[in-house]
Homo-oligomer: A and B are copies of this chain.
Amino acid sequence: MADKLTAKAEQTRAGIVDAALRLFRSEGYDAATMRAIADEAGVSLGSTYYYFSGKEELIQAFYDQLQVDHGAAAETAFDRAAFADRLRGVMESFVDVAEPFHDFGGQFFRNAADPRSPLSPFSAESAPAREASTALFRRAVEGSDLKVAPALSQELPELLWLLHMGVVLFWVHDDSEGQRRTRTLIAGLVPLVDRSVRLTRLPLVRGLVDDGIGLVRSLRG
């Protein structure tokens, strides 16, 4: 499928992706049927399935694009040195970038929760997007003034990505105007995270953190 394609074939494929993204944005998830996408791209239904294994792969393209946009929007967050500022910047920029797609975001993330679906953020197929997203949080940690134990700082980016997934879940269910409640959540959550991480240097807390990290690592291996 991703093998050598004629220049013309490559063009057809790109046209289908474009048509799909256009319809997802303008019509939403439900109305963007495979037949509508094929029509919009000016090809037959069968051709769509020649280039893509199914609707999910088309949605993956949309998902990837969103990830790229998030990365670009988060860039300004790294101007600051304070960890809290950097983290807030990364988290808020997601809400900014994803806002236009909030209405069908739910329909979209439905597939993401299916463990057998390649669209799941935990799937092998999503590894590139997941790694790109985690990299944002890694930059938020590593470029900052934050001082934490090496063991924790190594796991922190992935833990923050996990927290981000929780925020996204909240965002999906948030029907307040402009996702105001999600923004409130982030505004309150970021200082809590900041203070919590710094508290890990306390002797009494440290043992707890070490055990937590040990658990995470034993589950990953």
Contact = CB atoms under 8 A, between A and B. Distances in A.
A3 interface: no
Contacts of A6: none
Interface residues of A, number: 37
Interface in A152-191: 169, 172-173, 175, 181, 184-185, 188-189, 191
A27 B32 CA distance: 31
A113 B169 CA distance: 7
Nearest to A162: B166
A211 B205 CA distance: 18
Contact of A113 (B110, B212, B218, B219): B110
Contact of A219 (B112, B184, B214): B184
B106 A114 contact: yes
Contacts of A189: 215
A192 B173 contact: no
A72 interface: no
Contacts of A218: 184, 188
Contacts of A181: 219
B107 A110 contact: no
Interface stretch (A14-22, A85-93, A115-123): A115-123
Nearest to A120: B173
A44 interface: no
A195 B208 contact: yes
Contact of A172 (B106, B111, B115, B196): B115
B205 A199 contact: yes
15 contacts: A106-B116, A109-B114, A110-B114, A110-B117, A115-B175, A122-B173, A181-B219, A188-B215, A191-B211, A192-B211, A192-B215, A199-B204, A199-B205, A199-B208, A202-B204
Interface of A: 106-107, 109-117, 120, 122, 169, 172-173, 175, 181, 184-185, 188-189, 191-192, 195-196, 199, 202, 204-205, 208, 211-212, 214-215, 218-219
- For the complex of A and B, list the 9 residue pairs with the smallest distance between their C-beta atoms, beginning with the closest: A188-B215, A113-B113, A110-B114, A106-B115, A115-B173, A109-B113, A106-B114, A115-B172, A110-B113
